[in-house]
Amino acid sequence: DTEVTQTPKHLVMGMTNKKSLKCEQHMGHRAMYWYKQKAKKPPELMFVYSYEKLSINESVPSRFSPECPNSSLLNLHLHALQPEDSALYLCASRAGTDGVYGYTFGSGTRLTVV
């Protein structure tokens, strides 16, 4: 299995809702990432998990809450989002410690906040 799987593919939520995005990989990668991507822009780093521990939080608002229950699974919990949070949310994982092979990305979750 050489994929990163993200669910759901599309999500529409109200500003008072609570929802979660899920990311799964079975490649044995021990670093996992959440990125936010607006239309026609490059991905922006949100969170980095290394060996199931949060190592980087790029000053992301607390309405985004990441979780890494085990080495294969990464969640992003969403609560009280704003319309400007509408974007494509990408998950990625990295093989090895030095990143020589780059990152493997999922297909993303298209989030719309109404």
Partner 1 sequence: AQTVTQSQPEMSVQEAETVTLSCTYDTSESDYYLFWYKQPPSRQMILVIRQEAYKQQNATENRFSVNFQKAAKSFSLKISDSQLGDAAMYFCAYRYRGSQGNLIFGKGTKLSVKP
Contact footprint for partner 1 (CB under 8 A): 31, 40-43, 45, 48, 50, 55-56, 88, 90, 92, 97-108, 110
Alpha-carbon Rg for the chain in angstroms? 13
Kindly tell me which of 7 and 55 has the beta carbon lying closer to partner 1.
55
Kindly tell me which of 85 and 109 has the beta carbon lying closer to partner 1.
109
CA distance 107 to 113: 19
Minimum CB–partner distance for residue 5 and partner 1 (Å): 11
Kindly tell me which of 80 and 86 has the beta carbon lying closer to partner 1.
86
Q: Which two tokens stand for residue 96?
A: 């090895």
Given CA atoms 28, 30, 31, 37 in this order, what sign does their dihedral have? positive
Minimum CB–partner distance for residue 45 and partner 1 (Å): 6
How many Å from the N-terminal Cα to the C-terminal Cα in the chain?
36
Minimum CB–partner distance for residue 36 and partner 1 (Å): 12
Minimum CB–partner distance for residue 9 and partner 1 (Å): 9
**Residue 14's closest CA among 81, 75, 104?**
81
CB 6 within 8 A of CB 91: yes
Kindly tell me which of 55 and 82 has the beta carbon lying closer to partner 1.
55
